[in-house]
Amino acid sequence: MKSQPIAEMSTEVLKKNYKTMKMVIIILSVFLLIMVGSGVYITLTKGFGAVSILPIAFLPLFMLNMVNFKKIKKELTARGENLGDS
């Protein structure tokens, strides 16, 4: 399925995607912090293992979501929409 360019999406769809991506980013942030903490703990107690590199493996997913989130936020701001956060 081909995704529609952000500039061609309706304002309502952009607002829905904005709210969804905001929650996804918050959840991913929490999971990444937990993975970093547990990775450091396990590395210090049991040595280097697969758990140690999991946060690094999930970092591109987080960064991709952040880039798309910023694009949607920029488009909504350009359309003059009030997002309710700064």
Backbone angles phi, psi at 47, to 5 degrees: 100, 175
pLDDT at 67 exceeding the cut of 60: yes
* pTM for this predicted structure: 0.81
1-45 per-position pLDDT tens digit: 467 888 888 999 999 999 999 999 999 999 999 999 999 999 999
* DSSP-derived secondary structure letter, 3: P
Q: CA–CA distance from 63 to each of 5, 22, 29 (Å)? A: 19, 13, 10
The full DSSP string for 13-63 is HHHHHHHHHHHHHHHHHHHHHHHHHHHHHHHHHH-S-HHHHHHHHHHHHHH
